Structure 1
């Protein structure tokens, strides 16, 4: 709900302005086929149960035609983390203009880009002591005895939301580490992981577009 963070995290956002309580004007530039183009409209937030859930409705226009969508966003606290779940429907242009699998694939990739951007913003907002604790937790062998007590508590790392210790346990991080792509530097390894993820999402999108062009038209 923070406009400044949304401006940094939303992929392709060109304009975001509050028009009143829980109503926003937005303009997006989508650079991924087949949804490439400019989108402009209104976003309305309703049925808020802070901090658990809210309903979001979108209505606007694009070169593909009218855009309409609505859905729910729910947040659940699980220990020191927040689990975000969402569901909804989206209609772009006239019915049948875009193959449903391609539309779903592109939308999912844009949502994943948003969460990656949001994670970057959260990491940038972390206090320096949390960042240091996360790095020390990944490399305990380089920590002097007087710092180990401060570096190891799991609460400090978990509160960061996307701490390096939690990310290092993913299969992708293990692969990067085995290939020595980051040279043992956690920051460099994280950059490699983000690059591989974005490349994989682009490859999936291209595959979906290719499949969509070969679906029989009704």
Structure 2
């Protein structure tokens, strides 16, 4: 499965980088996640419960970050095991950049993943649907956590968006694709991101 997407974030590039590399933020934001622990430099262990159709299992996985260029980009390799439910593995390239218009920043990703075992048997459409739902849930939670941690920046971004919406020319809205497939597939199929 190959995926790509982008998302506008209301916080600065540095704030997004720090949050996406904070195990506590990730644990709060990843649906079903109960463990994100650093196991070494740019290495993490993750534990989460995932349900895809009739298949529900607890997955344990690991993530390794490479080509780390703070606060701009990294490559994420992940793998996870869910016993009889199956496995997931893959990689994702994540990029952060200042917003082209207004405040905040842009997050973009490309990812590839493979699943096997019972998860693969439930069908690609169902897996894709769960991945999309988990990604949307992740970013809703991420936005809420950023509002809690950085209320001034988020309020300023919302005010700017409101002012631009009042202008005669419509504001081009960023695509709400399912963010950081690493996080998504990691999530949807058991792992974490950035």
Give the TM-score normalised by structure 2. 0.64
| Contact 2:75–2:94, Cα closer than 8 Å, also in 1 | yes
> Partner residue of 1:114?
138
Q: Deviations over 1:76-123 (max 9, x none)?
A: 211422111112122221495232222112112111111111101000
Alignment match, 1:41: 61
Cα distance change, pair 96–39 in 1 and its aligned pair in 2 (3 A)? closer
CA deviation after TM superposition for structure 1 residue 45, in Å: 0.9
- 1:23–1:44 CA contact under 8 A, matched in 2: yes
Question: RCO (CA 8 Å, sep 6+): is it higher in 1 or 2?
Answer: 2
Distance 1:107 1:26 in 2: 17
After superposition, residues 104-143 of structure 1 pair within 5 angstroms as 104-127=128-151, 130=152, 134=155
Q: Which structure carries more strand by proportion?
A: 2
The answer (yes or no) to whether the contact 1:12–1:31 under 8 Å persists in 2 is no
| 8 Å Cα contact 1:64/1:92 also seen in 2 | no
Equivalent residue, structure 1, for 2:161: 166
* CA 1:108–1:169: 2 relative to 1, 3 Å: farther
Q: Could you tell me which residue of structure 1 aligns to residue 22 of structure 2?
A: 2
Aligned match of 1:93: 116
Q: Distance in 2 between matches of 1:7 and 1:45?
A: 17
Secondary structure at the residue paired with 1:36?
strand
Residue 68 of structure 1 is aligned with which of 89, 105, 109? Answer: 89
Distance 2:58 2:97 in 1: 33
Structure 1: which 5+ runs fail to align?
A: 135-156, 171-218
Q: Is the contact made by 2:53 and 2:122 (CA closer than 8 Å) also made in structure 1?
A: no
Count of aligned positions: 141
* Inter-partner Cα distance in structure 2 for 1:20 and 1:26: 13
Taking a change above 3 Å as real, the CA distance of residues 125 and 67 of structure 1, as seen in their structure-2 partners, is: same
In the alignment, structure 2 segments of 5+ residues that lack a partner are 1-20, 166-194
Q: Which runs of 4+ in 1 moved over 4 A?
A: 167-170
1:168, 1:109 → 2: CA distance? 30
- TM-score, normalised with respect to structure 1: 0.57
Residues in 1 aligned to 2:128 and 2:163: alpha-carbon distance in whole angstroms: 29
